[in-house]
Structure 1
Amino acid sequence: MQKFYKVLLVVLIIIVAINIYAIDWQSDVLSEDNQKFVFSIAAGVLGIILLFVMNTWSKIGVKK
């Protein structure tokens, strides 16, 4: 992985971890109080998936 992808991966993992920590587990996960954290976790996971797709595409285009 390129340095940019590694840094972005660490940032996205930290964002997901902070939001998992912030969820109030005593109430329903999809309650109104937890909605912003759940959406943020979903965006972080989507970002991680897109990061691996971009990394794969960059490897495909490189000629040996």
Structure 2
Amino acid sequence: MTNQTRNVSIDETYKLAREKYSEIGVDTDRAVEVLKTIPISLHCWQGDDVGGFEIKEGDSFGGGIEVT
């Protein structure tokens, strides 16, 4: 990926992708609408579930969550 590509806005990038997918018969706007109807659950672990409560010398206990 070039710097120029990174600087292109999400909307502009989506327009380019929509054109490319359209060439092979995919309606991306319809696909997005279908995907909006599908609930997605993401599992996450509490910090102690991942690393335990033990604190090594010099480490700080952040108490955050870990996404797996």
**TM-score, normalisation: structure 1:** 0.28
**TM-score, normalisation: structure 2:** 0.27
Higher strand share: 2
More contact order relative to length (CA 8 Å, sep ≥ 6): 1
Q: Which has the larger radius of gyration?
A: 2
